C-alpha cells in the first residue's frame, strides 16, 4: 500500500473491501492500511471518497 501511495499520492488512493473474485489477500491489505499513519488512513479509507464522489 505504501508503494501505491508513493506513486499516486494519498489524494488518489481509495481502500475498498469489495472483491469481485478471490484475488490477493484482502485481510493482509487491510492490515497494511491499518499500519498507515492516522491521517493517511483517514484519507484512503473515506475522506478521498467523500471528495471524489461529492458525498
Q: What are phi and psi of 36, to 5 degrees?
A: -70, 155
Query: Residue 2 corresponds to which cell in the numbers above?
Result: 505504501
Which pLDDT score, from 0 to 100, does residue 21 have? 57
The residues spanned by each domain of the chain are 2-52
| pLDDT single digits (tens) 6-37 | 999 999 998 887 766 566 666 777 888 899 99
Which pLDDT score, from 0 to 100, does residue 32 have? 86
pLDDT band at 38 (very low <50, low <70, confident <90, very high): very high
Which pLDDT score, from 0 to 100, does residue 30 have? 82
Which pLDDT score, from 0 to 100, does residue 29 have? 79
pLDDT band at 50 (very low <50, low <70, confident <90, very high): very high
Amino acid at each position: 500500500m505504501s508503494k501505491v501511495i508513493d506513486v499516486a499520492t494519498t489524494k488518489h488512493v481509495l481502500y475498498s473491501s469489495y472483491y469481485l473474485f478471490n484475488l490477493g489477500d484482502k485481510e493482509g491489505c487491510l492490515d497494511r492500511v491499518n499500519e498507515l499513519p492516522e491521517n493517511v488512513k483517514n484519507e484512503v479509507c473515506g475522506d478521498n471518497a467523500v471528495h471524489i464522489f461529492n458525498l
